[in-house]
Amino acid sequence: MRKKIVAGNWKMNLTLKQAIDLVEELKKNFHSGDKVEVVVAPSFPYLYPLREILKASAIELSAQNMHWETAGAFTGEVSAPMLLSVGIDRVILGHSERRQYFCEDAGLLAKKVKTAMDHEMQVIFCVGEVLEEREAGRHFDTVREQLEASLHALTPADWSRMTIAYEPVWAIGTGKTATPDQAQEMHRFIRQVVSGMAGEQTAEQIRILYGGSVKPSNAADLFSRPDVDGGLVGGASLKPEDFLAIIEAAL
């Protein structure tokens, strides 16, 4: 049985004090790491200090992004060796905001994924369609293309370190949420695509998260679907009481 993951993507939010207060509250109240995997993804400056706070807890840390090169003249960027040197071995790649605002296309993301896998990092890889694609009935084609274009070179060992997050772009930060049936339909489709790429066993083992306005009121219904293995949570992960309620829904 696949262990559920609840991951909080903090994006560009919180001061250091607010970040520390938040993880202290989570650390105090979450003790079920054997039942659900909990991950938080703060901004780069907070990764090391929060790692020191969380090192004895069941809560894991992830970076929100990283560069595809390991070093060089890339002002403002962060590399895989840098993350590993401060104890961070997980990264979110392909988030819709990176695709939209920073023009990250499939080729660039394939390079980032390869670098992460070369360094044996865990990856949460995001896919999802915009509203126009959903309304035009192209949502399955879009998600298939995103998966095949960036993950085609993965080895069996690479797939074991991969988690996929389905995030319908029209539901991110809008208050709209895919219905549980829509989420299940797409998650099942993603599993079928992975089966075609890497085999049925890998497809059954890979964890697929739902991201898009996950909140306490809808988490249990979403997580109850057989192919929904948890959530990539945005705004609700900034409120400890909401994030803890979402975690509870995954238990």
* pLDDT tens series, the chain, 251 aa: 899 999 999 999 999 999 999 999 999 999 999 999 999 999 999 999 999 999 989 999 999 999 999 999 999 999 999 999 999 999 999 999 999 999 999 999 999 999 999 999 999 999 999 989 999 999 999 999 999 999 999 999 999 999 999 999 988 777 777 899 999 999 999 999 999 999 999 999 999 999 988 999 999 999 999 999 999 999 999 999 999 999 999 99
Selection from 151, 177, 161 nearest residue 231 by Cα = 177
* Strand ordering across the sheet containing 90-93: 59-61, 36-41, 4-9, 230-233, 207-210, 162-166, 122-127, 90-93
- Give 250's Cβ-side CA count (13 Å radius): 30
Is residue 46 exposed (0-12), middle (13-18) or buried (19+ Cβ within 10 Å)?
Answer: buried
Report the CATH number at residue 15: 3.20.20.70
Selection from 58, 57, 146 nearest residue 96 by Cα = 146
The answer to whether the CB of 218 falls within 8 A of the CB of 171 is no
* Three-class secondary structure of residue 37 per DSSP: strand
Q: How many domains does the chain fold into? A: 1
Annotation marks residue 167 as catalytic = yes
Phi-psi region of 245 (alpha: psi -120 to 50; beta: other; left: phi over 0): alpha
- Given the residues 97, 104, 129, 167, the one annotated as active site: 167
- Given the residues 95, 97, 104, 133, the one annotated as active site: 95
Structural domain that includes position 223: 4-250
Q: Whole-angstrom Cα distance, residue 84 to residue 43?
A: 15
Annotation marks residue 95 as catalytic = yes
